[in-house]
Structure 1
Amino acid sequence: MSRILKQFLLILFAGALLLLAGWSSYSVYRYSSEAAEIKRDYSELNSITHGLMSVNLWRDHLTTMVLNRIDEFEFTEAQEDTLVIQVENILTAGIDKGADLLDQKQKGIKAKVRKFAVKALVPEDKIRALVPMFAQTIVNEIQKPENKEALKYVIKSKLQEYSDLTHDDSQEAELRLKTLLDKYEVEDLHGFNEKMPQKIEELEAQTYFHAFILLGIIGIFLVLWWLLRNQKALHTPLFIISVLVSLVVLFSGITAPMIEIDARFQHVDFQLIGESITFNDQVIFFQSKSILEVIGILFNTGKVDSYLVGLLILTFSIIFPISKLLATQIYLGGNEKTRKNKILHFFAFKSGKWSMADVYVIAIFMAYIGFQGIFDNQLSRLNMETNSLVSISTNKTSLQPGFLIFIGFVLFSLILSTILKRITALEKDPPLVTN
């Protein structure tokens, strides 16, 4: 097979892999961005701010519970006896008050005549003897269905009045929640929570599928380099396409989320006055960021130290690796004069020690281990089970596809640097002469 045909077939095959890598890279970006957006909205709608810590929600729960208790209320025999005694005490106190008023010295003939008439016609002892009967009659009247319902209505109306006075005035927050629900075409939080988890799973499955395609393409190129290690005529086109693939992988690695921090109450159940108040999936903290998003946040803080950190990450984790890959392309395709350029030679062979891409990978991994340990320790203290309270917290912190893809880029770029040195060394070797 001629050299030109080999090069053509290699370019055709490697070019197809490059196109596949580009499509997969864009798919990772699209699916991961959509999943991250839904997760952020999910965490906002299910935040403890709008659930476990919501004044309005607790008001509604407690008001409903008390109203139910009022509707179900019936006097027991002991409560009826106690009520009769209380009514008797009130009636007796009224009689005592009237007797005290009559015993006071009256001035004027009219007042004295009225006092005499009352004492003569209203015997105090007989009235006191009738107090238990009057008290029982009053209690019996209260217990009549129509009077009981009227009393319940008065109590419930007053309770509802107090309930309406207890609320959170954050209209902006309520409008924001309504906007999010309308965004996903659901009527309430329950409908959102039923619909979105499945959607998130589908998007994550697609993201990982295309991420593994990218990693698989890197593996195929490494196999090609092994198989064609002695085919000097094919090294240049293969290296050029390999660098392009590496750039495509880098794009996916810096735009897809690398780490997801998720701490939440999986289940909280309060037992109050015989009824249960339950909260599920109450998000305490959630963040999911890519490298570019982290850099953007650091730049937007307005603080000098944050800006400098963002600039360092941008320079040594993104700009330097890209410059190195482009420099290797130019170096490989350049003539002797071009290759002697000091800046080009620095980026092609010596900028690796300045690149922080591998350091950033280690930093993300260490951050993952640190957050995992901290949240596990802190959330475990929130797990409790008593007669009146059951709470189960969970830590869903995890590494995301962007982390795997970025690792693939770092390893692939390091291998390409080694390959470039080997290629340039082979170019300097004189061709073998065979008889």
Structure 2
Amino acid sequence: MTKNLISSFILTAVFISLLFLAFNSYKNAKIYENTYKQYAQEQTIKNSVEKNTQEMLNGLIGALLGQNPKVTKDEIPSKKLQLENLKEKPIEYVIIFATIITLSLLSFFVVSKKIFLTYLHSVTILSLVFGLISPIFMMYILLDYNFQNIVNIKDAILQFESLTIIESINKLIYVQEKYFVGIIILLFSVVFPFIKTLLSFVNVFINHVSIVNKTTKLLSALSKWSMTDVFVLSIFLVYLSSVNSGMSKIVTQIEVGFYFFFIYVILSIILSFFNKIKIQ
């Protein structure tokens, strides 16, 4: 009894630390997203043209007046350096998050099965939730063109977008009207994962034989669709492929939401393994 209480206390403390790491990763990801959004607004074609035109006019006026052209400090490199630093923070939290989960799985050998499965289900749901609400990818379209070598608007940002899985589903269904793809991702990234994990969680605490048999059969049926989680990740990876097109190029980068969802997929596979052990 005392051993179970100590085990429960330790794993609860571990779960709280994981919650702290996940929240900080999410918070820093949103800071990075908002900072990049501000940077993208500064790098629009209009702002780029105005800035370069103003610099060119200042140079011409200075030359006519016999003044040496003023060298203005370029703020873009420092801004990009700031963005790189902000980008690393949420990734660092995710790495620590994944490392702690990996090490905590060893508790299977020293704690009771019920306590371990309770912890494992809680961490799986936690990973899924933050995988759904954290930014999963960022995309921006750059104008890669020098306008007749007069006004340099190279790398001006035409469009910027950062979305979570939930926002992606909303956009696919309500904005782009791609109902089939949107509903597929909704089912296999939100509905099925929650049903499967919650059913498995409930199954840990139920001792009634008939109910256990029913939930076990349902879980077995859902397990046949387990690879759909990987399928959803594949869809996003294809969607995130960089494309170059003439005067512009589409640049995409994976955000922390993708890693949280990937961790959920791995934990879901591990849970399926333990469910099979329980059935046998």
Class of the TM-score when normalised by the shorter of the 2 chains: 0.7 to 0.9
Equivalent of 1:223, from 106, 118, 121?
Answer: 106
User: Which 5+ residue runs of structure 2 have no aligned equivalent?
Assistant: 67-72
| Correspondence 1:364 to 2:257 | no
Q: Distance in 2 between matches of 1:271 and 1:317?
A: 48
SS at 2:98 equivalent: helix
CA root-mean-square deviation: 3.2
**Cα distance change, pair 300–22 in 1 and its aligned pair in 2 (3 A):** same
Correspondence for 2:221: 350
Offset at residue 58 of structure 1 (A):
6.9
Correspondence for 1:290: 164
Note if contact 1:25-1:251 (Cα within 8 Å) is conserved in structure 2.
no
SS at 1:397 equivalent: strand
**Cα distance change, pair 64–196 in 1 and its aligned pair in 2 (3 A):** closer
Paired residue type of 2:212? R
SS at 1:340 equivalent: helix
Q: Distance in 1 between matches of 2:199 and 2:277?
A: 16
Correspondence for 2:69: none
Offset at residue 318 of structure 1 (A):
1.1
Note if contact 2:45-2:153 (Cα within 8 Å) is conserved in structure 1.
no
SS at 1:22 equivalent: helix
Offset at residue 312 of structure 1 (A):
2.8
- Between the two proteins, the alignment pairs up a number of residues equal to 272
Correspondence for 1:163: none
Note if contact 1:260-1:288 (Cα within 8 Å) is conserved in structure 2.
yes
Equivalent of 1:35, from 21, 32, 37?
Answer: 32
Q: Distance in 1 between matches of 2:126 and 2:279?
A: 24
Equivalent positions of 1:207-246 (< 5 A) are: 207-225=90-108, 227-228=109-110, 234-246=112-124
Note if contact 1:331-1:348 (Cα within 8 Å) is conserved in structure 2.
no
User: Which 5+ residue runs of structure 1 have no aligned equivalent?
Assistant: 73-188, 383-392, 426-435
Correspondence for 2:262: 407
Give the TM-score normalised by the residue count of structure 2: 0.81
SS at 2:135 equivalent: coil
| Correspondence 1:338 to 2:211 | yes
Q: Distance in 2 between matches of 1:361 and 1:347?
A: 24
SS at 1:289 equivalent: strand
Offset at residue 349 of structure 1 (A):
2.6
| Deviation readout 1:146-182 (Å, 9 max, x if unpaired) | xxxxxxxxxxxxxxxxxxxxxxxxxxxxxxxxxxxxx
| Correspondence 1:259 to 2:137 | yes
**Identity over aligned pairs, percent:** 17
| Correspondence 1:205 to 2:88 | yes
Give the TM-score normalised by the residue count of structure 1: 0.55
Correspondence for 1:428: none
Q: Distance in 2 between matches of 1:326 and 1:13?
A: 23
Offset at residue 66 of structure 1 (A):
6.0
SS at 1:288 equivalent: strand
